[in-house]
Structure formats: C-alpha cells, structure tokens
C-alpha cells in the first residue's frame, strides 16, 4: 500500500464545547494523509475549519449518529475508514498505527486496537474509535440508536464477510491508541444517538 489516505468520519450533535479539542488531537497526528468528514446532525453549529482536510456537512434531521455515519460514508475518499467520536482523544500515533498494520498485512480488512476508559481500564471492543477498515467494506448500513450500534455494525461486517482473526482478515492490536471521554452534554446523551 503506497501512501494511503485515511478518512475519519465524525458525527456530531451539539458538541461545540468538545469538538475543537478532539480535532486538535487529529491535527496533532504523526500521520498526515487524512481527511476528516464531520456530519453536524444538529445542522446549526456553523463549524468552519481552516485546514482543507476537514469537510463539514450539515443535516438537521437529528435522526442520530448511525444515520449521520451513513450519510458521511459516501463522502469518504480514503483507502481506509475509521469512525471517531466528537468528544474523544486520539493519541498522536493513532492513524500511524493503523497505516503501519495495513501496510505490513496486505490481506487484512479490519484492524482493532484499544482505548483508555474513564475508569482507567483498557478496552479492546468494537467501539467506533477502535476500528479501522478498508473503505470498500465500510457500508452505509449503520442501524438503530442504541449505545452499542457500533459493536453490532462491525460484528455484522465480520459475520457477513466471514472474517476471522485466524484467517488473517482481522488483526487485534494490543496497542492503546485513544481515550474515551463520554462528555455528558450533547451527543449520544442528548441527541437521538
């Protein structure tokens, strides 16, 4: 894989108070070939960013994060796609870690890693900030408005494609690459996420 591009998809809902610091962690990435696609699900924040790699789309229907992710996927132009929340923190090696694994393993379709929870525990689930996949497998099939919709989305992709770690389709890294913040205002707790 030559210099691959990563598309980061970020739904947001009334998170003006967190999105700036989250984007700062993206701007600080050691890997520079990325695009950030923000779908403002409130449609009223008027976000404007000077970095041309950041695109903002608005959809005021407030149907939820799953709907917003589905709307954002067709805008992705990267070789890889990851989904990131508007209140979390990428460690500076987040994107580089994913790119290196995909470059070293040309047959892999999905890479999962770990995050630090508020409690300090490490989590290696299928939560949105922990998964990166090849763009051709990122389908606009997010459903529901439950808190575990991301777990179901990635599990369904794995099952439908019959991917396994044993066959080399998925790699689970024991690397911690981000921190979840779970801000109580806006987002999943106040919107229809």
Provide the strand spans (E) within 100-148: 110-116, 122-123, 131-134
Domain count, the chain: 1
- Asked whether residue 153 carries a pLDDT value surpassing 60, the answer given is yes
User: Is 86 among the domain residues?
Assistant: yes
End-to-end Cα spacing for the chain = 35
Residues near 43 by beta carbon (within 8 Å), at least 6 away in sequence = 58, 59, 60, 61, 62
Q: Which residue has the higher pLDDT, 137 or 48?
A: 137
CATH number at residue 47: 3.90.550.10
Residue 95 and residue 84 in contact, taking contact as beta carbons nearer than 8 Å: no
Q: How confident is the model at residue 186 (pLDDT cuts 50, 70, 90)?
A: low
Q: Residue 181's pLDDT is what?
A: 82
| 124 domain-assigned | yes
Residue range of the domain that includes 159: 6-190
Q: Looking at the predicted structure, is the pLDDT value of residue 190 above 60?
A: no
Q: Evaluate if pTM is beyond 0.85.
A: yes
170-179 and 122-123: which strand pairing? unpaired
Alpha carbon of 138 to those of 13, 43, 135: distances in Å?
22, 24, 5
Taking the mean position of all CA atoms in its chain, how far away is CA 6?
Answer: 10
Q: How confident is the model at residue 47 (pLDDT cuts 50, 70, 90)?
A: confident
The encoded tokens of residue 8 equal 């980061």
Asked whether residue 1 is domain-assigned, the answer is: no
Contact yes or no for 163/169 (Cβ under 8 A): yes
Residue 78 lies in a domain: yes
3-state secondary structure of 189: helix
Encode pLDDT of 93-104 as tens digits: 999 999 999 999
Question: pLDDT, tens digit, for every residue of 18-40?
Answer: 899 999 999 999 999 999 999 98
């Amino acid at each position: 894989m030559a210099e691959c591009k990563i598309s980061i998809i970020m739904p947001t809902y009334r998170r003006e108070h967190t999105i700036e610091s989250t984007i700062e962690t993206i701007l600080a990435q050691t890997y520079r070939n990325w695009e950030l696609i923000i779908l403002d699900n409130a449609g009223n924040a008027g976000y404007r960013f000077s970095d041309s790699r950041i695109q903002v789309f608005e959809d005021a229907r407030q149907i939820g994060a799953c709907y917003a992710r589905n709307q954002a996927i067709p805008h992705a132009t990267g070789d890889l796609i990851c989904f990131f929340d508007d209140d979390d923190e990428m460690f500076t090696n987040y994107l580089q870690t994913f790119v290196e694994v995909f470059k070293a393993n040309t047959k892999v379709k999905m890479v999962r890693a770990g995050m630090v929870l508020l409690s300090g525990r490490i989590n290696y689930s299928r939560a949105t900030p922990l998964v990166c996949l090849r763009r051709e497998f990122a389908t606009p099939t997010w459903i529901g408005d439950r808190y575990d919709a991301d777990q179901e989305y990635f599990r369904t992709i794995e099952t439908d494609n019959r991917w396994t770690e044993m066959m080399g389709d998925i790699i689970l890294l024991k690397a911690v690459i981000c921190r979840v913040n779970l801000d109580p205002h806006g987002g999943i707790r106040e919107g229809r996420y």
